[in-house]
Structure 1
Amino acid sequence: MAQKKHSAFTLIEMVIVLFIISLLLLIIIPNVNQQKKSAENKTNHAFRTTLQTQVDMYEGQHPTWEILRKEHYLSDAQAKKAIDDGYEIEAGNVVAPHK
């Protein structure tokens, strides 16, 4: 009987492949974290801009998040996020929380 020839990866080929995958992960993971932080910063800036626009549109004196919500300048979710995240209104300007 003739022996069948088995084709398979050698140990050295497997080590090389794992090494290449490890290098790619070392390059990709820090970049993903940086992109996440950048997206969070842009989202926070956009939210602060939205809040400032609504404060500017309010014609009354001394707006608060609750007043802006009741007067329909902000949605319930926006007012809750502004309060929960620590945004404040000082002299008509929205101040972002210090994180």
Structure 2
Amino acid sequence: MKIMKKTKAFTLIEAAVVLFIIGLLMLLILPNLNVQRKNASQTHAKAMVAMVQTQVDLYQNEHPEASNVTLDDLAREHYLNGKQVDKIKDLKIGISQNEVHQ
């Protein structure tokens, strides 16, 4: 007669409870992550507007004869690099009358 050795393992009920708890936590966490991602995007856009306004002001200080500063002016004079200009265009940030707006 063989004696079977009893092994320790999770039962099906225990595994189901653990999966249920993980699913419940995911339902609580994911919506919050989306809200935080949206807040981060808005904060990034505001920071980009402030950074571009600073560059416009610097450009005006060094080029007082310039009446209307454009993104092309800032890029040409190396106040902004190519990646920054692309991101500014993606965020739909514009310059009018030397004031930066989104």
TM-score when normalising by structure 2:
0.81
Q: Cα–Cα, structure 1 residues 32 and 84, in superposed 2: closer, same or farther, change >3 Å?
A: closer
Determine which structure has greater relative contact order: mean sequence separation of CA pairs < 8 Å that are 6+ residues apart, divided by chain length.
2
In the other structure, the counterpart of 1:28 is 29
Post-superposition, which runs of at least 4 consecutive aligned residues in structure 1 deviate over 6 A?
none
For the Cα contact (< 8 Å) 1:65–1:83, is it kept in 2?
A: no
Match of 2:78, SS state, is: coil
Q: Which of 71, 89, 92 is the matching residue for 1:86?
A: 92
Deviation at 1:52, TM superposition (A): 0.7
How far is the alpha carbon of 1:95 from its aligned partner? 1.3
Query: CA–CA distance in 2 between the matches of 1:80 and 1:2?
Result: 72
- CA distance 1:8–1:46, change in 2 (3 Å): same
1:70 is matched with which residue? Answer: 76
Instruction: Give the alignment's TM-score, normalised by structure 1.
Output: 0.83
* Aligned residue pair count: 96
CA shift in 2, pair 1:2/1:40, >3 Å: same
Q: Aligned to 1:94, what secondary structure does the other structure show?
A: strand
> For each residue in 1:60-95, what CA deviation from the matched residue of structure 2 results, as whole angstroms up to 9, or x when unmatched?
211111111112222222223323432211122111
Higher deviation after alignment, 42-51 or 66-75 = 66-75
Equivalent AA in structure 1 for residue 24 of structure 2: L
Q: CA RMSD in A?
A: 1.6
| Structure 1 unpaired stretches of 5+ | none
Unaligned runs of 5+ in 2: 61-65
2:68 aligned counterpart, secondary structure: coil
| Conservation of the 8 A alpha-carbon contact between 1:51 and 1:94 | yes
Aligned 8 A contact 2:45 2:91 in 1: no
User: 1:15 matched to which residue of 2?
Assistant: 16
